[in-house]
Amino acid sequence: MSRLVVKNLTKIFSLGFFSKRRIEAVKNVSFEVKEKEIVSLVGESGSGKTTTAKMILRLLPPTSGEIYFEGKDIWKDIKDRESLVEFRRKVHAVFQDPFASYNPFYPVERTLWQAISLLENKPSNKKEALELIKESLFRVGIDPKDVLGKYPHQISGGQKQRIMIARCWILRPLLIVADEPTSMIDASSRGGIIKLLEELREEQGTSIIFITHDLGLAYYVSDNIFVMKNGEIVERGHPDKVVLEPTHEYTKLLVGSIPKLYRKLEDL
Ligand SMILES: Nc1ncnc2c1ncn2[C@@H]1O[C@H](COP(=O)(O)OP(=O)(O)O)[C@@H](O)[C@H]1O
Ligand SMILES: [Mg+2]
**CA-closest residue to ligand 1 atom 11:** 25
Across the beta sheet with 175-179, the strand order is: 91-94, 175-179, 207-212, 38-42, 224-229, 232-237
Number of the ligand closest to the Cα of 228: 1
Q: Where are the alpha helices (DSSP H) in 57-147?
A: 81-90, 110-118, 126-139, 144-147
Question: Is 63 inside any structural domain?
Answer: yes
Instruction: Give SS3 for 64.
Output: strand
Q: Which residues line ligand 1 (CB under 6 A)?
A: 13, 23, 25, 43, 45-51
Question: Is 108 inside any structural domain?
Answer: no
* Predicted pLDDT at 17: 73
* Predicted pLDDT at 268: 46
Q: Find all residues with CB under 8 Å of 127, minimum gap 6, and list them.
A: none
Question: Is 42 inside any structural domain?
Answer: yes
* Predicted pLDDT at 267: 53
What is the rounded distance in angstroms from the CA atom of residue 244 to the CA atom of residue 238?
Answer: 10
Dihedrals phi, psi of 35, to nearest 5 degrees: -55, 135
Whether the predicted model's global pTM rises above the 0.75 cut = yes
**CA-closest residue to ligand 1 atom 27:** 46
Question: Is 136 inside any structural domain?
Answer: no
* Predicted pLDDT at 89: 92
C-alpha closest to that of 233 among 27, 75, 71: 27
Question: Is 160 inside any structural domain?
Answer: no
* Predicted pLDDT at 266: 52
Ligand 1 atom with minimal separation from the 60 CA: 1
- Domain span holding position 18: 4-98+174-267
**CA-closest residue to ligand 1 atom 6:** 13
What is the rounded distance in angstroms from the CA atom of residue 75 to the CA atom of residue 56?
Answer: 9
Spell out the per-residue pLDDT of the chain, length 268, in tens: 799 999 999 999 988 777 778 899 999 999 999 999 999 999 999 999 999 999 999 999 999 999 999 999 999 999 999 999 999 999 999 988 877 888 999 999 999 999 999 999 999 999 999 999 999 999 999 999 999 999 999 999 999 999 999 999 999 999 999 999 988 888 888 888 899 999 999 999 999 999 999 999 999 999 999 999 999 999 999 999 999 999 999 999 999 888 765 555 555 4
Question: Is 29 inside any structural domain?
Answer: yes
Ligand 1 atom with minimal separation from the 11 CA: 12
Question: Is 74 inside any structural domain?
Answer: yes
Residue of 15, 22, 23 with the most ligand 1 atoms within 8 Å of its CB, for mutation: 23
Question: Is 140 inside any structural domain?
Answer: no
CATH of the domain at 65: 3.40.50.300
| Count of domains forming the chain | 1
Pair 74, 67: CB distance under 8 Å: yes
Q: How far is the CA of 158 from the centre of ligand 2 (A)?
A: 19
